[in-house]
A and B are shown apart, each in its own frame.
Chain A
Amino acid sequence: MEDQLSYVYGVVRPSPAVEGDALAAVRGVAGAPVTLVRHGDLAAAVSPVPRSDFSEAALRAHLEDLEWLEAVARAHHQVVETLGAHTTVLPLRLATVYLDDARVRDMLDERQRTLTGLLDRLADHVEWGVKVYADASPGATAPPPAGAARETDPGRAYLRQRRQQRHAREDAWSSAADAVRRIQEGAGDLAVAHARHRPQQGRLAGGSGENIANDAYLVPRERAEEFRERILRAAEGLAGVRVEVTGPWVPYSFAQVPQNADPQGATQP
């Protein structure tokens, strides 16, 4: 096993359902079978990965390779999702790797209190992603005033057009800010925690408009659907704004010990 490392996807409390059905059907990074490494009442979902791909130098190079990154990210997610369909799962950050399974057991031993606290905190909760876009493209906002087309001086026509574009953009931003405020108000008594990701930009960012808020909310499972409906309603009727809800996710964005919080896991109000 010298040339293999142990890749860890997440941590669960082991149960027959997880060990039997869940992991038998799923494949991990590079198609490897996933097993549970148990220690006490915790278990880590683990699969072997080639050292040549996950050594420090290799990892450094691979993290710049979008195709490689996507393959690993999707495999990681697939395992986490599969576990999450059966039990509470604590997803680990991408590419958490140990020399062997014995080292994974050491980790479970050392971090037992923290991991147990987080499992308790996240049990029966889901994460929703809520993204707000300001969309100043024609059609998303009010049409330009009549008369604009009759401008004969090209310089003035240009300036007018620029002004309209700027106003459309300002309006879209201001509507989007309204949407963000309404969403936060609407989420207030349903979500137990809120995390903020940086706005999405660039080639991977889909959709039209500019992403101005990229948030995650932790919501009790039994209120998940209510939350989603409320968020979508909060943004209705705002011109130049698009709200996208993703999920429900395993609570990735909340699998961290809240700062200044009791590491045993804060009990929720």
Chain B
Amino acid sequence: MTAYEDPPLAQRQVALIDLLDRLLSGGVVLTGDIVLSIAEIDLVRVSLRAVIVAVHEQQWGATIPADGTALPGATLVEDGDRHDEPR
């Protein structure tokens, strides 16, 4: 057990936005017992995102796109790119 010597990240203050990127679009997705169906959760997240984006003026006037692709998820890159072979 020598491989885990990094100081825990928690000792530094992580930016909330970086954390939310990971906690709302990363992590293992399991269907819990309190189920906002996946679609609903995504809706909640989109509106949450709207709150985050809209509370204060957006410098570039960005809005949440209305199409269904606008979920704040990590769009995992194409599978072919996910495991980069050494080049």
B partners with A? yes
Interface, chain A (partner B; CB < 8 A): 5, 8, 10-11, 17, 54-56, 59-60, 63-64, 66, 69-70, 73-74, 76-78, 81-82, 84-87, 90-99, 103, 107, 111, 115, 118, 124, 126, 129, 187-189, 191-198, 200-206, 210, 214, 216, 221-222, 224, 246-250, 252-256, 258-261, 266, 268-269
Q: Assess whether B32 is interfacial by the CB under 8 Å rule.
A: yes
In the complex, are the beta carbons of B33 and A97 less than 8 A apart? Answer: yes
Partner of B45, one of A63, A196, A250: A63
| Cα–Cα distance between A255 and B30 once the two chains are bound (Å) | 11
In the complex, are the beta carbons of A91 and B84 less than 8 A apart? Answer: no
Across-interface contacts of B18 in A (CB, < 8 A): 129, 246
Of chain B, the residue at the smallest CB distance from A54 is B34
Interface, chain B (partner A; CB < 8 A): 1, 3-4, 6, 8-10, 14-30, 32-36, 40, 44-45, 47-48, 51-56, 58-60, 62, 72-77, 79, 81-87
Which of A103, A192, A193 has the largest count of B CB atoms less than 10 A from its CB?
A: A193
In the complex, are the beta carbons of A77 and B17 less than 8 A apart? Answer: no
In the complex, are the beta carbons of A202 and B56 less than 8 A apart? Answer: yes
Of chain A, the residue at the smallest CB distance from B51 is A64
Across-interface contacts of B44 in A (CB, < 8 A): 60, 63-64
